[in-house]
Structure 1
């Protein structure tokens, strides 16, 4: 038994419908043996309805050859032999659905018997491995495949393709907060690229304001415990300083205090010894981002760099200016003094009090001169009592005898109501006694006998308290 391929079948149809006059050639197509049929030889076509019936494609050998047909018999035999040779060649190249065309059937049967003999063992192994395979994450499967590839010889284009694959796996691991898998993928990238992998493109993608992964990650971190936050920070450290951009974007979106505090601590560790790494965010249009950058700069070892913070003295947001004052607390006073003096006249009262508290800790003529300009202001007496107290306290800590004439004028308040005079004179007297020089004590003793009751009582009260009376 043989079969005819589609191309041969089409050729035979053309011959059947050929109405051109002339010698009739029997229908002999390009035939191939049916695999494993065991019947027929290449070049022979079995008739459909038996020998001698119309429509058969073979030749009826029982009919005696006559006329032109008898003379054509040798050519048919030669054509059959050539066709058999062609089939032997084609059967090497062509494939049927499951095996090579013309492949002996006994090999298929042997393979089937071999599979049957081992099927029970293979089925047991499949049943045992199936739960493990289903429980394996896509990232782990990717790592396993890349690990197998690394044990073989790789071309450069192969490494590039595997790098792209691992980058996608890393992105997927971050999306589901799988930090253990993410660290393994990062290690795989490092091994694959021999330490030359650049994480900047991935970080830039994650740091975008419209990144869905970072948006969901922030919400996830805001709901997690400190232990989970610490695990995330540990993964961020594996990325290196390039992760600063991503962490700053997460910090800008975080709404919970534990999350912000943990991220600030992580960024501080990245910027240790080099606070300028977060300098690009000092010019951000979002004031809370600027405040976060100032906080990181202020918490680094060695204190803030005043040159980085100087442009923020005039920032329109009071919270940013307050963070600048806090950041300067860890900076040596000589380096921080110019910025603090510039903030003495801050529009926010709480910021002014914080600046005065820091400036009043050391005597300095520039600070004294700046505070005396405030004292000489005609409206100084009309300021709130808390603010006057902050100015006089700082002036007593930073000024010398050069401030005494102006302070003595403040002991006398012409045109004041009596209920405001006494508290004001007492604050001025305490400022003078804090200066502590002999000239300051002499000024108080001299005014202790003043005819103005508020001035006299304030000087006597301060002298008794300091045992100078």
Structure 2
């Protein structure tokens, strides 16, 4: 498929991704440095050009070629990320200390500590990755941090590692501090006896606070005292609830704890809401030693935390935005009782911010467990983003009982729902059924067809060979794009038994007096299939094809030969002479 063009060789003076071929240097550190330099160059170009700009498209092609060549030679490519550096196997290979433009700093400040490209990465994925990082430069809202934007994409062959508080303890330059009451008070040193006897009296305004500042200071001190008293009150009530003796005012103590949790939630203090709810949960878990009446009241109090009215109180808070880490919010949501599932699912359609919806999804995965009925009854929701999130949760549950429902969402009119459905099908094993994948080849959706072809190729199931052969020999197939043809022929090569080699060879050798471009593409596709099938006879044909007049035939034969050479135990002939493309703007 597409990745076969990554390991081609360049003639002198040609650049990767342009006409001809590119050959990576043998030094892995140099290869990795080339990749990261090209990545930074491509992202910087995108920041000043539109997506359809030829310069940007050229750089993107070069990036794809360099990443693909590295992956073909050495497997997964992993970069460590420090504040201003990319690292490869512990060695710094790229440095940019300009905070406003630095690519490593842009990733690191949002928590990305490692970045990996996996075999099979497509040019489309790299384009989406570049666009995602570009958007990370453009937005100013904390809602659209780089990690959230990457999470939205669900890349199949690009992964990353996230750490919390990446800049903690590091001397990161900060903007000039704004003077506050606290900083002014802190800057006044304690007076000593010596200080109180100056030679000349100090101006009164140098050390006296204004009335407004004094009042502000009093308010802050009172708030701090109230905060401390609030925590002490919670601890005190918890001790009362843990008393093993029968107590008449037990319901009142529980009511206070419930009210405290609701206040914390309304103020967005999810750390304290989670701490208090956990105290109730722990008490409920260890309630065997409590009086029976207390156990029943405690269980009822915990259940009430999942009531629709209380869960809805989260909506306005989440729509205001989430600053920093969302761990406390997720911890609070995961501790809610099972009855909170339906109200939380309602919130998925009411919360406007993607970061908050992501946290809701992750918490719902735990709360739902394997019971997916509560999800499937909502799959007909008219809001596409709600359906996509439901499919995401289905994927995370890993339940094979989701199969019939995923077949339904695969027909959804919105492409993002269909893409998420395909990821879910991968996760729960539907991509391992050749019959199911063959059925998808009839889809009108290019994404579905490509996905099915890639999985069929990975399966290498001989049962798929005949249906694929009938498809590529149909009259309609001849009119498809070259990229489509190439994908089908590669899948055919991976599935075809040795007995099909003569038929594929005959298609490759078939020529007419007035051969049209579509006919040439069919022959080029057959060459790709021969390269996947392999064998000495295929090698001879492909070597001859490297001298063909048609550019698309030459390129297909070279790609096929490269694939054969990389295959363990396969014939490895000397590389065929490299010829430049006829025209720099010519594509296949």
The structural deviation recorded for 1:204 is: 4.1
> Contact 1:368 / 1:399 at 8 angstroms: preserved in 2?
yes
Q: 2:308 aligns with which of 202, 205, 213?
A: 205
Partner of 2:187: none
Q: Which residue of 2 aligns with 1:224?
A: 323
Instruction: Check whether the contact 2:410–2:418 (CA below 8 A) recurs between aligned residues.
Output: yes
Q: 1:367: how far off?
A: 2.7
Matched, 1:318 2:409: no
The structure with the larger Rg is 1
| 1:172 to 2:271 alignment | no
Work out which of the residue numbers 483, 505, 510 in structure 2 matches 1:386. Answer: 483
Tell me which protein shows more helix as a share of its residues. Answer: 1
Q: Is 1:293–2:384 an aligned residue pair?
A: no
Quick one: which of 513, 518, 525 aligns to 1:427? 525
Q: Is the 8 A contact 1:287 1:320 kept in 2?
A: yes
Does residue 309 (structure 1) correspond to residue 412 (structure 2)? The answer is no
Q: Which runs of 5+ in 1 are unaligned?
A: 1-128
Are the structure 2 counterparts of residues 338 and 308 from structure 1 closer, same or farther at C-alpha, using a change threshold of 3 Å? farther
Matching residue of 1:154: 247
Cα distance, 1:431 vs. partner? Answer: 0.9
The 1:372–1:135 alpha-carbon spacing in structure 2 relative to 1, beyond 3 Å, is: same
Given that 2:303 and 2:339 are in contact with CA atoms closer than 8 Å, whether structure 1 keeps it comes out as yes
- Does the Cα contact within 8 Å between 2:271 and 2:329 map onto a contact in 1? no
Q: CA RMSD in A?
A: 4.7
> What does residue 19 of structure 1 align with?
none
Match of 2:452 among 346, 355, 359: 355
Contact kept, 8 Å, 1:268 with 1:296, in 2: the verdict is yes
Do the aligned partners of 2:319 and 2:353 also contact (CA within 8 Å) in 1?
A: no
Output one character per residue of 1:119-177: Cα deviation in whole Å (capped at 9) or x when no partner. Answer: xxxxxxxxxx998885578897688678668868535xx65566555444433332222
Listed one character per residue, the Cα deviations across residues 263-306 of structure 1 (whole Å, up to 9, x for unaligned) are: 44444444566667744444444322221122233345688853
* Counterpart in the other structure of 2:105: none
CA distance in 1, matches of 2:514, 2:232: 81
| C-alpha distance in 1 between matches for 2:561 and 2:268 | 68
Say which SS state the counterpart of residue 458 (structure 2) adopts: coil
Superposition pairs of residues 402-417 of structure 1, within 5 angstroms: 403-404=500-501, 407=504, 408-409=506-507, 412=510
Contact kept in structure 1, 2:441 and 2:449, CA below 8 Å: yes
Contact 1:447/1:456, CA 8 A, preserved across alignment:
no
Contact 2:524 2:556 in 1 (8 A): no
Is 1:182 aligned to residue 273 of structure 2?
yes
Q: 1:365 to 1:135 in 2, by over 3 A?
A: closer
State the alpha-carbon separation in 2 of the partners of residues 460 and 185 from structure 1.
Answer: 65
Q: How many residues align?
A: 329
Tell me the CA shift for residue 361 of structure 1.
Answer: 0.9
Separation in 2 of the partners of 1:130 and 1:458?
Answer: 80
Q: Distance in 2 between matches of 1:456 and 1:237?
A: 56
The answer for the alignment partner of 1:69 in structure 2 is none
Query: Which deviations, in whole Å up to 9, do the C-alpha atoms of 1:27-68 show, x marking residues without a partner?
Result: xxxxxxxxxxxxxxxxxxxxxxxxxxxxxxxxxxxxxxxxxx
In structure 1, distance between residues paired with 2:552 and 2:318: 64
Q: Give the aligned partner of residue 375 of structure 1.
A: 472
Cα separation, partners in 2 of 1:235 and 1:284, compared to 1, 3 Å: same
CA distance in structure 2 between the aligned counterparts of 1:277 and 1:445, rounded to whole angstroms: 58
Query: Any conservation in 1 of the 2:384–2:417 contact (CA below 8 Å)?
Result: yes
Unaligned runs of 5+ in 2: 1-220, 285-293, 565-571, 577-588
SS at structure 1 position matched to 2:299: coil
Shift of 1:413: 6.9
